Structure 1
Amino acid sequence: MIRFIFLVLIYCFVLSACTTAPKGPENAVNLTVQLEKVAQVQQWEMRGKIAFRQGKDAASLNLVWKNDSGDFDFRLTNFLGVSLVNLDVSQHQSILKADGETYVDALPEPLIYQITGMIIPVDSLLSWVKGLPLKGDKFTLTEKGLVDTLESYCQGCRNWQVAYGNYGSVELDDGTSVWLPHSITLTQKEIPDMPKTQLKIKIYQWTL
């Protein structure tokens, strides 16, 4: 099976870079209002770092992820800013470029599995990264009322657990703000014939 080039990189950075983590809300938030606002956020860009670990393979790279109502561009670069992996997804097709090769499929999940061996529920992830549980997901709350952990339920994306940290206030177009996570850990529990998979995302900037 072909592997992403970044799964064998040795020179990767750790996620604990020199940025100040947001402190989160001082008072408890209204969960209903919070989740309604998060659900309305359909156009966003996040910048940060992402660390992958699958079995004994591990890597950490810079991340730029732009989303527009489900169409998105997911780009991983090294410390020089050179693009190593680019996944461009639209309603019509998904194009993944890595290690000088280009792969095309109707959906992003088969491409990611073909290249990495990881089963990533992309549609669910677009909500999870914002701290938004999906219907049927089991979740817990922080003492301030924000989503702290969740366990996936949807068909095809079970066995995933998500943990959040360092929520920050991000301004919306209407002048109000919404709390978005700046630290996310996604763990896929071990399943037969597949090593444990973990993704850690450290977000330095949200742009809505």
Structure 2
Amino acid sequence: MIRLFSFLFAICFLLSACTTAPKGPENAVNLTAQLEKVAEVQQWQMRGKIAFRQGKDAASLNLVWKNDFGDFDFRLTNFLGVSLVNLSVDQKQSVLEADGETYVDALPEPLIYRITGMVIPVEPLLSWVKGLPLKGDKYTLTEKGLVNTLESYCQGCRNWQVTYGNYGSIELEGDTSVWLPHSITLTQNETPNMPKTQLKIKIYQWTL
């Protein structure tokens, strides 16, 4: 485990928060219309918590993630609101600030791997967190017609399984709405070079 992840695991502990989880739709959803609406959501912000687990190590942090057509700011804070990790990505570069140091790379994936040792498929994740499968992904549906589980297919991001829960209705412009998940679990099983990795995201607020 390299230094940044060791730093996070050393200073963080699991926190709990009382929130009312959305109950999802009462009636079946038109999947085609739902996925079309989700695909159009390119500017969003989520607030919540993210729990990391890799092998026997675990940590939980507050999360604020802002996305603007693929340019994004991903910030992790402790329970006092102090920023511990900030990853900013635009078309020119990716900058990660943590533990008083700044790291730069052209792309976020190699930067995250260099600092944390984790292989995170950042671009697919921008779609997955919204409950949007990518071309080739295998997925199952809930009884109401929303994406329930997803198995990744894209080259370089295989072996990820995604599980969704607690969909809530989020308002869009024009008096319409879209269903977005408020509970997401991403799992990558153990490989010869990497222990089992799991990310759990609990979203308290979506802002579109």
Name the TM tier (shorter chain).
over 0.9
Q: How many percent of aligned residue pairs carry the same amino acid? A: 83
- Name the structure 1 match of 2:203: 203
8 A contact 2:12–2:60 mirrored in 1: no
Q: 2 CA distance for matches of 1:156 and 1:177?
A: 33
Unmatched segments (≥5 aa) in structure 1: none
Residue 105 of structure 1 is matched in structure 2 by: 105
Indicate the residue corresponding to 2:155 in structure 1: 155
In the alignment, which residue of structure 1 is the partner of 2:76?
Answer: 76
**Matched residue, 1:47:** 47
Q: Report what 1:92 is aligned to.
A: 92
Residue segments in structure 2 that go unaligned for 5+ positions in a row: none
Amino acid in structure 1 at the alignment position of 2:162: V
**4+ residue stretches of structure 1 with deviation over 3 A?**
none
Structure 1 partner of 2:192: 192
CA distance in 2 between partners of 1:182 and 1:47 (Å): 10
Asked if structure 1 preserves the Cα contact closer than 8 Å seen for 2:4 and 2:98, the reply is no
CA-to-partner distance for each residue in 1:119-141, whole Å, 9 max, x for gaps?
Answer: 00000000000000000000000
1:45 & 1:101 partners in 2: Cα distance?
25
How far 1:10 sits from its partner (Å)? 4.3
The SS at the match of 1:174 is coil
Whole-angstrom CA distance in 2 between matches of 1:122 and 1:200? 15
* Counterpart position of 2:8: 6
**Partner of residue 134, structure 1:** 134
Residues of 2 paired with 1:165 and 1:6: CA distance? 27
8 Å CA contact retained: 1:2, 1:114 = no
Letter of the structure 2 residue corresponding to residue 3 of structure 1: L
Note the aligned Cα RMSD (angstroms): 0.9
Q: What secondary structure, in the 3-state scheme, does the structure 1 residue paired with 2:35 have?
A: helix
**Residue pair 2:67, 2:73 contacting (<8 A) in 1 also:** yes
The aligned amino acid for 1:6 is L
The DSSP-based 3-state class of the residue aligned with 2:8 is helix
CA–CA distance in structure 2, aligned partners of residues 110 and 71 of structure 1: 17
Output the CA distance in 2 between the equivalents of 1:195 and 1:82: 29
2:152 matches 1:145: no
What is the rounded CA distance, in whole Å, between the counterparts of 1:159 and 1:13 in structure 2? 28
How far residue 7 of structure 1 moved from its aligned partner, in angstroms, is: 2.6
Q: What is the TM-score when the length of structure 1 is the normalising length?
A: 0.97
Q: CA deviation at 1:156?
A: 0.2
**Does 1:37 pair with 2:37?**
yes
Normalising by the residue count of structure 2, what TM-score does the alignment of the two structures yield?
0.97
